[in-house]
Amino acid sequence: MLYAVLTKESANRVYADSASRLLAAELAAIARYFSFAVTDIEVTNLGGVDYVTFGGGELDDQDRFIVSNLSGTRAVFTLKGDALYPLDLKTLEWFDDDLITIQRYSGKTNEQFTHMLLNLTLAESTAAHERAANEDQVHLLDPVAGRGSTLNRALVYGFDASGIELTDKDVEHYRTFITTYLKGHRVKHKTTSERFRKGDLAGASAFDVDIDRGRQNLRMACGDTSKAKELMPGQNFDLIVGDLPYGVRHTATAKSARRSPLELVQGAAHAWHSVLVRGGAIGLAWNLKTMTREQVSAALAAAGFTIIDHPRSFEHVVDRAITRDLIVATRRR
């Protein structure tokens, strides 16, 4: 059998230039989960349109679920000669897609890339797979949450989602957005807030949202990500997924000196390791013009993580100042 995946259109023209190649790399990274050996993954131009094509056996329900939830999948076809025959998709969506797309702000990470980073991290988390198999909630932490793009993707997947963000303005923006969204979509929820007043957490704060009477839980903390264990008391995570700042301020406190993305990872990686369960996985994206892959790998390895080697590169240009890459690692002890 031969299959063709039509790549989603992207509002970002630069990302669109790399979208099919990145989709092929994502498929190659998770191909082992198919019921058959996936072969000949490549970008193929058919009638002037790029598709990601691959060969293998007949798709069963699980295979169709996997290919439907790839970050760039717009449609899936069987390919016979010059003819394309569409297949029904089986997407995982606990919320409407507008939860992902409705936010618009300067510096927002491309939604497809966020989706891909989460998928690649999920693929390496045996802890998440075990929870899902037992119909338990998967728990995700974004340690550099910004205005919540990764948290929204986690909610769409049905996960419990937690985030840490230093900038109180971004935290408040996200609180307003998510509560307005839930009210507008008539989703029952209850929001509570807390403020830390003593010790190293003095000045930090957090809010929690109980969605649909415990169906899902969301927590967003405003504070230093190196205090992840204290900001997320009693919580452990199956997934840590974050898009690191591209060289802008992300310091321990608002009054402290500027800290580089590399210093951020070096200072926080042990804290992230402490809240990730054994068998969990961490996925980070960053700007290659601020630090090298070797530097990120070394910082994560020093904290006890095991780096995953992917068969294809995910490096791609965002703009003149940013060339983005990603890395996935696991906690095995």
Q: Which domains, and CATH codes, for the chain?
A: 2-87 (3.30.70), 98-331 (3.40.50.150)
The Cα 86–Cα 103 span in angstroms is 31
Query: Does the pLDDT of residue 77 top 90, yes or no?
Result: yes
- For residue 109, name the pLDDT band (cuts at 50, 70, 90): confident
Query: Does the pLDDT of residue 249 top 50, yes or no?
Result: no
Q: Give me the mean pLDDT over the 253-279 stretch.
A: 84
Query: Among residues of the chain, what percentage have pLDDT more than 90?
Result: 86
pLDDT at site 250: 39
SS3 assignment, position 80: strand
pLDDT at site 247: 66
pLDDT at site 252: 40
pLDDT at site 16: 83
Closest C-alpha to 290, from 256, 253, 318 = 318
Indicate the angle between helix axes 293-302 and 261-275, nearest 10 degrees.
Answer: 40
- For residue 130, name the pLDDT band (cuts at 50, 70, 90): very high
- For residue 259, name the pLDDT band (cuts at 50, 70, 90): low
Give the containing element (helix H, strand E) for 297: helix 293-302
The Cα 104–Cα 319 span in angstroms is 18
Please indicate whether residue 150 or residue 254 has the higher confidence score (pLDDT).
150
Q: Give me the mean pLDDT over the 57-80 stretch.
A: 97
Query: Does the pLDDT of residue 111 top 80, yes or no?
Result: yes
Q: Give me the mean pLDDT over the 93-117 stretch.
A: 90
Residue 2, number of CB atoms within 10 A of its CB: 15
- Per residue in 8-34, pLDDT (tens digit) is 987 677 788 899 999 999 999 999 999
Q: Which residues, in sequence order, are CB contacts of 19 under 8 Å at separation 6+?
A: 7, 8, 10, 72, 112
This prediction's pTM: 0.95
Q: Give me the mean pLDDT over the 245-263 stretch.
A: 60
pLDDT at site 142: 98
Please indicate whether residue 203 or residue 124 has the higher confidence score (pLDDT).
124
